[in-house]
Structure 1
């Protein structure tokens, strides 16, 4: 393969370089190269986290070569050609070049190959087919990818419809990649194929849908890509009739759950609608309810300090961001960043000592004292509060 471009190699750590060097040792032609997202991101100047490596070696050969040098190798997905090397607690995923024999949705029967082009043909987008060596040389096994990545064109490898039928999750991946890496209008052929096959998303598990959709909601500007998804009839049931795209565009929060509240039309009932399509964890659902409740308190005129006392600083900050987006105002998070709610100074034990028996009456008195304390800006101390007991 000819060199098509050059990238900065600062992201290649010593462990990755060691793996590549060992797998290529004694070979004139490359037996292992960096592949996919790490190369793409280095090319466009985005951050690189996960490092993936493709190799001509079989999983057994890869394991033998690396183990002989004292590297731990985990057989994470041998049937599909993948092993993971662990060096100083850092994981490097190494996958043998493959070609598809049979594909049925997410599952594929593969055969190993020594051809870089065959392996590239089974990938989703041209920008993900790019390869690189430790010197920063970039290769295009399909003669495509470099310009697509640089210009922000998310283009399927080969026929869009064929790639999507191999795994219908690629519909959502297309919109995610456009949200993060796309520039200008999306590829028309890809968009049309996504629209034509959008009803097949229902065949995916709710867990997979949630995982990919929440990544879309984490994009720098999810409002823009959601417009494209809605027009393409992709997951239309997730869009509340009260959803306001302008509010989401104004929202100065990167929090995915806060963004979901906008998509759900500021309704707790949206969680039931979401559940028909995707699975949110109990923790995510609780966060949705808490932020929405805090936003409702603010909408009803409750002081931000009181909301912080009940919901905490971080939840209240998200609620303030929601309210600011709704009102098209600049958010003011000063109180959340510079004030901590004090603890209520009166306990049930204090009331016992004051002669109040444990039970409903004690609970009523505690609530009344707490309400008085909150209404007076947390100022009354224990003695003054106990003095109010009648």
Structure 2
């Protein structure tokens, strides 16, 4: 497994070599997701660096090497180094001085193991030397990676008490990496689920949506429901909704549709726009997310009868959501571009209809029939218009 780091591309980036020279190889280690994901053979997106240097020293040394820095989280020891081949978050080793389950007061440290001890899971506490790529593993993270086990560092309840969001992080990581369940973690998360009520809604929503965006979150969400965790954050969900999510995941996979976390959240709710509005408000979803959740909740069985008409009316992404939730085929929308309605109000006025509400009503009626007939050519639109005008 360790050989994966030596064969990976990212440790050989020129920017990282420049950063290593600037800060000193003895003072830094690559840590967290980049190390973990490389060892698992997964794609690496973000690179984090732990350092024994204080933020002010990091900034000075980077400046001397021509590296621009941004004090993105300087109160907690984090400085972002802006390199030509990407950014790297450089964080000073830390100790937790006090925590209340929502935020922590930290002090800078100089011991790598002290820093590792304050992290959440063993698989996230693997430190790689920038030159040798030798891994420092203080809590059995390599063994847990081999077993695909997500395990808290030390006592699970203590780690959760430090930051209640770790409950949802556990389930997200378990859904992404886990194969073997850790009994202590499972019990601790279930027993302390009520502590999630004290967290900001934005943090809860972010973790929930990140979990639902994973390729196969169904089994994990079902377990969260069975253990009473899901009802703390989505009390509207019932056993039938868990089954609906499983069905949706199967339809997405069968039809090759990319996952969407808001669509999957909709599966966990009753098809009620009012409920969707309430959940969106409670979770502080963005305006775009709220609109998508409410649209999915407005689905009707009749929506599956004419997929193109549905997509023309509400937009392709919203239509795909409804069709999948209804168990309908979305293939007809693949590579389909909605046509432009070939009639303007001025053409109706030219036929002798006085400008005003009547023009709008005729235009809408013509368009409605054009959609129902499957978007026929302009010649048919003229016929539809003639018929409506004769009936007026």
User: What TM-score comes out, normalization by structure 2 length?
Assistant: 0.89
2:53 aligned with 1:50, yes or no? no
How far residue 100 of structure 1 moved from its aligned partner, in angstroms, is 1.3
User: In 1, distance between residues paired with 2:336 and 2:310?
Assistant: 12
Q: In the alignment, which residue of structure 2 is the partner of 1:315?
A: 318
Q: What corresponds to 2:237 in structure 1?
A: 240
Tell me, what secondary structure is at the counterpart of 2:75?
A: helix
> Secondary structure of 1:140's match?
strand
Tell me if structure 2 keeps the 8 A contact 1:179–1:225: yes
Deviation of 1:236 after TM superposition, in Å, equals 0.6
After superposition, the Cα gap between the structure-2 partners of 1:151 and 1:255, relative to the gap in structure 1 and judged at 3 Å, is same
**SS at the partner of 1:343?**
coil
Report the alpha carbon displacement of residue 255 of structure 1 after superposing the two structures with TM.
Answer: 1.0
CA contact (8 A) 2:94 2:106 kept: yes
Are the counterparts in 2 of residues 171 and 198 from structure 1 also a CA contact under 8 Å? yes
Aligned residues: 375
Q: Which blocks of at least 5 consecutive residues in structure 2 are unaligned?
A: none
Calculate the aligned-residue CA RMSD, in Å: 2.2
Task: Measure, in 2, the Cα distance between the counterparts of 1:99 and 1:272.
Answer: 41
Shift of 1:316: 2.6
Unaligned ranges ≥5, structure 1: none
- 1:189 maps to which residue? 184
Matches of 1:71 and 1:369 in 2, distance apart?
62
For residues 109 and 244 of structure 1, what CA distance do their matches in structure 2 show?
38
Q: Secondary structure at the match of 1:338?
A: coil
Change in 2 beyond 3 A, CA 1:135/1:89:
closer
CA contact (8 A) 1:316 1:336 kept: no
1:171-320 correspondence runs (5 A): 171-184=167-180, 186-236=181-231, 238=234, 239-241=236-238, 242-245=240-243, 246-252=246-252, 253=257, 254-275=259-280, 277-293=282-298, 295-296=299-300, 299-300=302-303, 302-320=305-323
Q: CA deviation at 1:19?
A: 0.9
Matched residue, 1:378: 375
In 2, are the aligned partners of 1:35 and 1:54 still within 8 Å (CA)? yes
Q: Distance in 1 between matches of 2:326 and 2:356?
A: 39
Aligned partner of 1:38 in structure 2 is 34
8 Å contact from structure 2 (residues 165, 204) kept in 1: yes
Q: Distance in 2 between matches of 1:249 and 1:316?
A: 17
Aligned-partner Cα distance in 1 for 2:34–2:2: 16
Between Structure 1 and Structure 2, which shows a larger proportion of helix residues? 2
Q: Secondary structure at the match of 1:73?
A: strand
* Deviation, structure 1 residue 228: 1.4
